[in-house]
Amino acid sequence: KRAYFYACLIEVNGYEFIYVFGGKNRNGSLNSVEKYDIRYNKWSKGASMPTPCYAHCGSFLDNIIYISGGYAHGQFIPVMLSYNPIVDSWQQLASMNSPRGWHTMCVANNRLYVFGGCLLSQQQQQQQQGQQQQQQNLLNSNSLIFPQEVTQAVVTSEFYS
């Protein structure tokens, strides 16, 4: 079981796959990538993310999956990564201007856009760590926690939020 991950459905060479990136489980942050082949009803592992994190987001553009931000090593991070599902490899890109988590990213007019998110002060991070312990207790009780988040879609160049 995992929570706070990014998942997407993509088409590669005419076949659909679901990819799941990172997240958190009762043991901590994850850097795993899992791929579900819809044709064969089978899960397989992909190349691990460079950093275990959760509260990140992603989007798909030009056959590349982009992952941004998240929470890792006790702080929000400004990371921007690209994952090529065809060759199963990661590339570190230029970081965002500010670290963030719990944000959203979408594609419009062939460009990536990142919206919102959270960047906590040191005091707020300490408060959050107390909340994370409560969440960990819930994860240990086999209950998953899903944050309230913005949901968006781009359909025929129209942005819906």
Residue 109 gets the label, from left (phi > 0), alpha (psi -120 to 50) or beta, of: left
DSSP 8-state assignment for residue 85: T
Sign for the pseudo-dihedral over CA of 142, 135, 119, 150 = positive
Measured CA to CA, the distance from residue 70 to residue 133 in angstroms comes to 18
pLDDT at position 142, please?
A: 56
pLDDT digit string, tens, across residues 69-88: 999 988 899 999 999 999 99
Q: Give Cα 68 to chain centroid, integer Å.
A: 7
155 falls in which pLDDT band (50, 70, 90)? very low
Round to whole Å and give the CA distance between 49 and 51: 5
Residues 27 and 145: their CA atoms lie apart, in Å, by 15
Beta bridge partners of 37: 17, 42
The per-residue pLDDT for range 93-152, each reduced to its tens digit, is 999 998 999 999 999 999 999 999 988 645 566 676 777 777 777 666 654 444 444 444
**What is the number of alpha carbons within 13 Å of residue 33 lying toward its C-beta?**
19
Size (the chain), residues: 161
Contacts of 30 (CB under 8 A, 6+ apart): 2, 5, 22, 23, 24, 52, 54
Per-residue pLDDT of 31-71, as tens digits, reads 999 999 999 999 999 999 999 999 999 999 999 999 999 99
Q: 160 — alpha (psi -120 to 50), left (phi > 0) or beta? A: beta
The CA distance from 49 to 22, in Å, is 7
Rounded CA Rg of the chain: 16
| Banded model confidence at residue 153, pLDDT cuts 50, 70, 90 | very low
> What are residue 109's phi and psi, to 5 degrees?
50, 40
What was the pLDDT predicted at 161?
47
